[in-house]
Amino acid sequence: MSRSNGRRTDELRTLEIEPDYIEQASGSALISFGKTRVLCTASLEEGVPRWLAGRGRGWLTAEYSMLPASTGQRTQREASTGKQKGRTVEIQRLIGRALRAVADLEALGERTLWIDCDVLQADGGTRCAAISGAYVAARRAIDHVGLSRVLSDSVAAVSVGMVNGEPLLDLDYEEDSAAEVDVNVVMAGDGRLIEVQATAERAPLDRAQLDALLDLAAGGIEEIGSRQRDAVEAVRA
């Protein structure tokens, strides 16, 4: 299959990660997958939610939003409506779950690590970009205060899908809109699965197809993980 941007079926979009993008944040990263750009920040605060107080462990949570002009048509800020959309809540919970899967919250102490992911420009795969960028921001935040042990591994995510019967890695918006199957895969750095969100849009997906898509995602996530490590090591040097 010939992709509109000339990529191979197993090729990521152009990936760029700029760590420490925001000076005031404890940790931050601007991550770009092609035209999709997400700004991720991590803020460490003393104290935990009331329901965790006195237990000697911390909390990690996330918020996600899309800027009004991040898509082709301006959308209203959810804050101005007084209510978050279901998609927003779903994605920010996914980001939090993904990072908590590799987090030692007892090592964090009674502190809260806030992750904020703001989509500056959307062209498909915003939740996967947010997760991958959030890890870099969180890693920078805990490194700054000597709590590196809080995160035991890296986390990255990528989309895969079946488009015209062919498996593709890292779908852009056009491909995602045409996909018969759309899968978001979240993995730890050691290759273990954290979450798989799979939807068959037109016909059921068989196990062999799912396994092929997971293998495709694993290759992409391995490459993302390498770029995450490069970004973190570059600012440590």
Pairwise CA distance, residues 234 & 59, whole Å: 28
Q: What is the pLDDT of residue 109?
A: 95
Instruction: Kindly tell me if the per-residue pLDDT of 79 is higher than 90.
Output: no
Mean pLDDT of 218-237: 93
pLDDT of residue 1: 60
pLDDT at 158: 98
89 pLDDT band, cuts 50/70/90, is very high
Per-residue pLDDT tens digits for 160-197:
999 999 999 999 999 999 999 999 999 999 999 999 99
Q: Which of 66-80, 196-210, 213-227 has the lowest mean pLDDT?
A: 66-80
| Confidence grade of residue 237 (pLDDT, cut at 50, 70, 90) | low
Instruction: Please give the Cα distance from 133 to 129 (Å, whole number).
Output: 6
User: 124 and 171 in contact (C-beta within 8 Å)?
Assistant: yes
| Range name among 15-19, 191-195, 200-204, 233-237 with the lowest pLDDT average | 233-237
Domains of the chain (ranges, CATH numbers): 15-236 (3.30.230.70)
End-to-end Cα distance, the chain: 42
The pLDDT assigned to 28 comes to 97
pLDDT in tens, 5-16: 789 999 999 999
Contacts of residue 88, Cβ cutoff 8 Å, sequence gap at least 6: 64, 65, 66, 78
Neighbour tally for 105: CB within 10 Å: 19
Strands 193-200 and 181-188, by their bridges, are antiparallel
Q: What is the mean pLDDT of residues 92-110?
A: 97
Interval 103-148: pLDDT, tens: 999 999 999 999 999 999 999 999 999 999 999 999 999 999 999 9
For 44-75, the pLDDT digits (tens) are 999 999 998 989 999 999 999 998 888 888 88
Which two three-digit tokens encode residue 202?
A: 């037109």
Model pLDDT, residue 82? 76
Of the candidates 27, 31, 95, the one whose C-alpha atom is nearest the C-alpha of residue 61 is: 95
- Can you give the pLDDT at residue 76? 78
Amino acid type, 192: R
Residue 192's CB: how many other CB atoms inside 10 A? 10
Q: Looking at residues 147-160, what average pLDDT do you find?
A: 97
